[in-house]
Amino acid sequence: MGDCETGHAPQIGVTVSRDRERELLGDLFDDAPVREVTGTVPADIDLCVVDETTLQTNPERFATWRQQQSPVFAPVVLLAEGSPATTRAEYAEQAPVRCDSVIEVPLPEAELRVRLTNLLERRALSRELADEKQLTASIFDSSPLAKLVLGPDGTIERANTRAGELFDVPEAELVGRLYNTDGWIMVGDDEKRFIEDGFPFTEVFEAETPISDHECTIKRPHADDVLLSVNAVPIRRESDAVEHVLLTLEDITARRAHAEARERQVDLFRKAQDIANVGAWEYDLRTEEFYWTDQVYELYGLPTDVAVTSEMGIEGYHPADRADIRAAFEQAVDAGESYDLELRLIDDTGDRHWVRTRGEPQYNDDGEVVRVRGTIQEITERKTREDELQQMRNAVDKAPIGIVVTDPTQEDNPMVYVNDGFVAETGYTREEAVGRNCRFLQGEDTDETTAGELRQAIDAEEPASVTIRNYRADGSAFWNHLEIAPVRDESGSVVNYIGFQQDVTERKEREEALQETRQRLALVLAETNTGVWAFQPESDTITPITFPDGLGLAGEAADVDAYLEQIHPTDREAVKQSISTAIESQEPFDVEFRLNDDSYERWLRSHGTLVTDDDGGDRVVGITTEVTERVHRKRALEKRERLLRELHTATREYYPLESKHAVASFVIEFLESALNLTYASMKLFDEDEGILRPLRNSPACEELPEPFDTVAPGSNPVWEAYRNAESAVIDAAEFDATEACQTAALSQLVAVPIGDFGVLVVYLTDETAFSDVDMDIVEVVTTNAEAVIRGLESAEAQTELAAQLSTQRTQIDTLRDVVDTIQELQNRVSQAETRSQLDTAVCEELTVPETIDFAWIGRPQATETTLTVTASAGGGEQYLDTVRSGDGTASLPAHIAATEQEQYANGSISTAVREADWAKEALSCGYNSVLSVPLVHDDVLYGVLTAYSAQKNAFDEVYTNLLTDAGSLLLNYTRILDRRSLGSNQSSTTVTFEFNDGSCPLQQLAAETGSELRLNTVARATEDAVTVITEITDGSRAAVCEYASTATGIRSAKRFGSDDAQQLLLEFPRPFLATAVEKHGGRLLTAHATPEATRVQIQIKSEVSRQPLFEFVSDQFEDPELLAQEAGAGPAAAEEGAMAALTERQREILTAAYYGGYYETPRDISGEELAASFDISSPAVYNHLQAAQKKLLQHTLEHEGATQSARLDS
């Protein structure tokens, strides 16, 4: 009873109340699943079988199932006992659920099976029909084409999404709308969509045949119109009558626009062919047919009815071009290569044409060339123009000048053409020049005004002509004569500028040279006061060409006699004779003469020659130059030469001079004799008094008043000449001693500086003639005097320098001795193993230099405040014994240095005799200088180094540095030896102090809380704070902790250890008692504070002075009392060595653990509490403790092993 259509077994749902019917159905459907349905009918049930009872009990569930199965047929079968017709009639009236079949039972199984099978087959057919409807609806709705189903009255019964888009409304609003035969559809309440040319649905109903490709247009008010292609198909009933019409609407708006555009392009192409005389052709490889357009026939001169072939087309070309066209055509056919050629064509009449022919291969879907298409165009006219233009261009290219063409229609008006002349002139290639504005030829020396004229002409579209400085490609400059002109088209618009340029550098340089020559000539004539003239012998007149005023020739022509009247009478004949001789002999003349001027002797020089003009006439052309200065200078030079010879003679007679006074005497005597001077004075600068003091005066100067003697700094002209190092000639009116000048009849004063040494002063009277030559002689004499004085001083400086060099050699020797001493000191102290060896080595090495005669070292002892001699050298022990046996040891230099902890130096011991007895003893032993250097580190005195010398002021910087360095070396090695000796059981002293001082934080804490406190140990120390473990031996830990948390001077307070422990961690700011004691060489053992007093115990090693520590305690606390001093052994080497092996953090944590009771049983403090007190993690505390314990055990066991080995060896 399986479902043959669907391929799966039907699902039977049974709801019956009688067992026999249930058994019947089970037997009947043995090959199909039968499921008892007690509630909602499952969706996969294919058929329900019920009886009257179950149907009446809950009929809604069957109605629901049937509704869910819609539109698929869902059969319900009623098994009734009685007449099926009666039962069906009853249930048709009463039952809420329709029964598809009422079967009377009992009924034969075969009949029952047939009836039920029919119902199942009906359900299968129903399902297939529903699937087909769903598929049809899906196709309808999702179609990319708009679809409408119209009824006979034009009502739209169905519309898809695309239809809604075309009508610009949701498709749901189209359904139920009526298409009016007038061609519109009402959309919404008041909007219409007009269909121009209408839908053809009426024709389909009437003709009952489809209609295709009907075009119409939808007019949309809110969007663009849509052009449609409509296909109408009738939908028939089973009776074959047309029931509906299916309209398929395709939007062909874009396609129609494209077609129209294509048609326009084709039409445009055809017209362009006609205008441009372009023909088209096509060759089909498959048919070997050739197609030409009319234009091609016309070009070939053939009628259009002639059948053409490819060979005919090729043969029409010029014989010289046929090979090219044949090869190009074959390449297009065989290899698919396009071509574009310009060739000659000979038409049928024999006329030759230039044509441009192009070929383009066409391919099929397999990529094979199937045809070749191309064009052919008449270009004879263009070729002719090109030939003409080429000829013209060749002429322009080869023009001897540069020619350029620019295009102002492009940005920045670039050059679009340059000829060969431009390339040759500028050195730029065409590629480098074209596309650039002409201004790139300009450079740094291009005149901006000229360049501006060019720009203005171009802006105004006017011609221009300029000469401008341009630059070639290699950077060289040239002068470019440039002429530009605008080129206009038929409309008058400027389309180009043409420029013609020519290298005029040579011409420009000649013009500039000529101009420069003219300028120089004019300048020379003006500067030399020169005139140019011409003498006409025929008219006996002389004419000035260019003539300065004052040279004896007026601005107009004059006769010769008038000109000669202006010449000195003595010289007139000579001038007249020179000109006459030049005319007769036709040779140049040259004559010098004086003007007839009583005020001043002016000399002129005239020279010229006879010149014959083009007309045969003679004239004398000459120039006249004033040579007054030259003549006077010549006379002065002659005088200068004479005086210099006299100076040379006198110099050879009196030199060399041995003193400045001798120099001054020679200078004054020479000036008196050579220049006939009466008053001359040589004054040198007096460095002590800061004035110019006379070294030697002329005898007549003794008659002059006092102002002419010494010269003090100020506004005095003589002092100004010396200060400015410039010679000066001062009139008497400018001098301070004007009245004295009048008394002595002095008119001028000449002051010439003698370098920085002084000044030479010459006093002139009214009768004294003093020329420039005289001034030169005075300056020469002064310069020689300066050189001699400088030589004298140089000799003195050399003598002094020799003395300085000798002193420096001595100092170098001293430094060498000091360096050797330092090196030897370093060698010996590095080998010393005890303080005694160390002190002895220092003293012995310091007395090796000759300067130091005695050296000794004193060191403080723990039980006294005086110094004990630990070493000495140089033989001064008797002196020490003498001074130390007296009462004045406290005033010894060494004790002064120890007390003040500063160096004590005395370079002259004799000055201390009255104040100190040791000074007498030192003088008695031959000592004159002493230096004591204290050995101090961290305010702890380690000793004093003292040295004595027989020389006064012996301890200069060198020896002071020597003793300072020796002291530093001694101090450093003393501390090194101390650290080495820490392993020995050295002795120490334990001192106990007691004080009552409220400033002590421990005592303040004890007093305020009424407790007794004991400082057990320092747990942690940082740069600015110290944390200590403090035990409350009497009192409340809580009370002490509470007060300490707020007390000044205590940073923090924490409980330490268990609740039963009486310990606190107290953090104090530095300085703190324990760290301060360590700084002064001690070790704080305990500190016990009560409300009344504080008692501290401090351990001091034997080699450390107690004095600094005692002074610290006295300064720090009020009225401290020293209760006890006990000598004892120091800490064992093993103990200190073991603790030294620990890191600072390990030592802090181990100390806190020990005093906190970590190692007690049971423990008073846990690892977590230790970690909290140090603000670190518990594992970190355990790691530190473990590492510290390992180091202590290792050190102890190794030390014990070494001790046992030593015992066994002994």
Question: Residue 466: helix, strand or coil by DSSP?
Answer: strand
Torsion of CA 780, 786, 791, 794, to 10 degrees: -150
CA distance 682 to 759: 6
More confident residue, 97 or 706: 97
Helices (H), 95-170: 109-142, 161-167
Q: What are phi and psi of 971, to 5 degrees?
A: -65, -45
Q: What are phi and psi of 151, to 5 degrees?
A: -85, 180
The token pair at 751 is 């002051």
Judge whether 812 lies within some domain.
no
The token pair at 953 is 């002021």
* pLDDT one-digit tens code per residue, 523-554: 777 777 787 878 888 778 887 766 676 666 65
CA distance 893 to 916: 10
Which DSSP helix (H) or strand (E) runs through 64? helix 60-69
The residue among 1130, 1159, 1184 that closes a domain is 1130
pLDDT of residue 999: 79
Residues across the chain: 1210
Query: Closest Cα partner for 921 from 955, 954, 893, 963?
Result: 893
Helices (H), 223-278: 253-276
The token pair at 357 is 């022919």
pLDDT of residue 4: 45
The token pair at 983 is 């392993």
pLDDT of residue 786: 85
Judge whether 1003 lies within some domain.
yes
CA distance 714 to 351: 115
Q: How confident is the model at residue 321 (pLDDT cuts 50, 70, 90)?
A: very high
pLDDT of residue 192: 66
CA distance 1105 to 1111: 11
Judge whether 816 lies within some domain.
no
Q: How confident is the model at residue 589 (pLDDT cuts 50, 70, 90)?
A: confident
pLDDT of residue 1132: 47
Q: How far is CA 359 from CA 251, 329, 333, 665, in A?
A: 39, 7, 10, 119
What single-letter DSSP state applies at residue 155?
B
* pLDDT one-digit tens code per residue, 819-839: 888 888 888 888 888 888 888
pLDDT of residue 652: 56
* pLDDT one-digit tens code per residue, 147-200: 888 888 888 888 888 888 888 888 888 888 887 756 667 665 566 677 777 777
Same-domain check for residues 584 and 621: yes
CA distance 704 to 715: 20
CA distance 1133 to 441: 96
Q: How confident is the model at residue 343 (pLDDT cuts 50, 70, 90)?
A: very high
Same-domain check for residues 361 and 421: no
pLDDT > 70 in the chain, percent: 86
Q: How far is CA 297 from the centre of its chain?
A: 75
Same-domain check for residues 119 and 160: no
Count up the domains in the chain and report the number.
9
The residue among 591, 626, 661 that closes a domain is 626
pLDDT of residue 1133: 46
pLDDT of residue 1210: 46
Same-domain check for residues 552 and 663: no
CATH of the domain at 147: 3.30.450.20
Same-domain check for residues 644 and 711: yes
Fill in the amino acid letter for 459.
D
**Long-range CB contacts (within 8 A, 24+) of 52-56:** 52/78, 52/80, 52/87, 53/16, 53/17, 54/15, 54/16, 54/17, 55/15, 55/91, 55/95, 55/97, 55/99, 56/95
- Other Cβ atoms within 10 Å of 1120 Cβ, number: 18
Whether 747 contacts 731, CB under 8 Å: yes
The token pair at 1051 is 């940073």
* pLDDT one-digit tens code per residue, 658-700: 788 888 888 888 888 777 788 888 999 988 888 999 988 888 8
DSSP E strands: which ranges in 938-1070? 940-949, 987-995, 1012-1021, 1025-1034, 1052-1056, 1063-1069
pLDDT of residue 190: 60
Q: What value does the CA radius of gyration of the chain take, rounded to a whole number of Å?
A: 69
CA distance 545 to 557: 10
**Farthest-apart Cα atoms in the chain, separation:** 190
Whether 13 contacts 49, CB under 8 Å: yes
Q: What are phi and psi of 425, to 5 degrees?
A: -70, -40
More confident residue, 353 or 25: 353
pLDDT of residue 338: 93
CATH of the domain at 1179: 1.10.10.10
pLDDT of residue 864: 43
User: Of 150-159, 385-394, 989-998, 1099-1108, where does mean pLDDT reach its minimum?
Assistant: 1099-1108
What single-letter DSSP state applies at residue 567?
B
Query: Closest Cα partner for 991 from 1107, 1112, 1122?
Result: 1122
Whether 480 contacts 465, CB under 8 Å: no
CA distance 595 to 107: 179
Helices (H) and strands (E) in the chain, counts: 37, 46
Query: Closest Cα partner for 650 from 633, 636, 634, 669?
Result: 669
CA distance 614 to 1035: 146
* pLDDT one-digit tens code per residue, 379-394: 888 888 888 877 777 7
Q: Residue 70: which residues within 8 A CB-CB, separation 6 or more?
A: none
Judge whether 782 lies within some domain.
yes
Look at strands 352-363 and 464-471 and give their pairing. unpaired
CATH of the domain at 860: 3.30.450.40
In the predicted model, is pLDDT for residue 427 greater than 90? yes
CA distance 902 to 924: 26
Q: How confident is the model at residue 739 (pLDDT cuts 50, 70, 90)?
A: very low
* pLDDT one-digit tens code per residue, 940-971: 788 899 999 999 998 988 889 988 998 888 88
Same-domain check for residues 1124 and 1137: no
Same-domain check for residues 22 and 103: yes
Q: Is the peptide bond before 1162 cis (omega within 30 degrees of 0)?
A: yes
Q: How far is CA 171 from CA 157, 161, 911, 1133, in A?
A: 11, 6, 132, 110
What single-letter DSSP state applies at residue 177?
P
Q: Residue 111: which residues within 8 A CB-CB, separation 6 or more?
A: none
More confident residue, 811 or 1069: 1069
| Matching residue, tokens 């007769």 | 584
The token pair at 600 is 């001043």
Same-domain check for residues 683 and 728: yes
pLDDT of residue 1103: 62
Phi-psi category of residue 225: left, alpha or beta, with phi > 0 → left and psi -120 to 50 → alpha: beta
Whether 264 contacts 285, CB under 8 Å: no
Same-domain check for residues 22 and 170: no
Most confident among 338-352, 623-637, 1051-1065 (mean pLDDT): 338-352
User: Rounded mean pLDDT of 220-238?
Assistant: 84
CATH of the domain at 119: 3.40.50.2300
Q: How confident is the model at residue 328 (pLDDT cuts 50, 70, 90)?
A: very high
Same-domain check for residues 693 and 759: yes
CA distance 460 to 450: 16
More confident residue, 51 or 1137: 51
* pLDDT one-digit tens code per residue, 267-320: 666 665 666 678 889 998 888 888 888 888 988 999 988 888 888 889 999 999
pLDDT of residue 1138: 64
User: Of 489-498, 577-586, 778-787, 985-994, where does mean pLDDT reach its minimum?
Assistant: 985-994
More confident residue, 680 or 1109: 680
Same-domain check for residues 660 and 789: yes
The token pair at 537 is 């012998």
Mean of all residue pLDDT scores within the chain: 82
Judge whether 1015 lies within some domain.
yes
Judge whether 520 lies within some domain.
no
User: Of 1078-1082, 1117-1121, 1161-1165, where does mean pLDDT reach its minimum?
Assistant: 1078-1082
In the predicted model, is pLDDT for residue 740 greater than 60? no
pLDDT of residue 244: 87
Look at strands 47-51 and 76-80 and give their pairing. parallel
The residue among 609, 626, 643 that closes a domain is 626
In the predicted model, is pLDDT for residue 56 greater than 70? yes
DSSP per-residue string spanning 387-420: HHHHHHHHHHHT-SSEEEEE-TTSTT--EEEE-H
Torsion of CA 164, 169, 174, 178, to 10 degrees: -120
In the predicted model, is pLDDT for residue 1188 greater than 70? yes
pLDDT of residue 763: 83
Whether 399 contacts 419, CB under 8 Å: yes
Domain of residue 353 covers: 273-379
In the predicted model, is pLDDT for residue 800 greater than 50? yes
User: Rounded mean pLDDT of 899-905?
Assistant: 89
pLDDT of residue 983: 46
Whether 717 contacts 699, CB under 8 Å: no
In the predicted model, is pLDDT for residue 7 greater than 80? no
User: Of 733-737, 767-771, 1156-1160, where does mean pLDDT reach its minimum?
Assistant: 733-737
Judge whether 470 lies within some domain.
yes
* pLDDT one-digit tens code per residue, 232-260: 888 887 677 888 888 888 888 888 888 88
Q: What are phi and psi of 415, to 5 degrees?
A: -75, 135
In the predicted model, is pLDDT for residue 810 greater than 80? no
Same-domain check for residues 785 and 911: no
pLDDT of residue 34: 80
Judge whether 87 lies within some domain.
yes
Q: How far is CA 216 from the centre of its chain?
A: 73
Query: Closest Cα partner for 742 from 718, 719, 720, 766?
Result: 766
Whether 870 contacts 860, CB under 8 Å: no
Whether 302 contacts 334, CB under 8 Å: no
Q: How confident is the model at residue 705 (pLDDT cuts 50, 70, 90)?
A: low
pLDDT of residue 607: 86
User: Of 84-98, 844-858, 927-941, where does mean pLDDT reach its minimum?
Assistant: 84-98
In the predicted model, is pLDDT for residue 5 greater than 60? no
CA distance 303 to 115: 90
The token pair at 213 is 């490709």
pTM of the model: 0.33
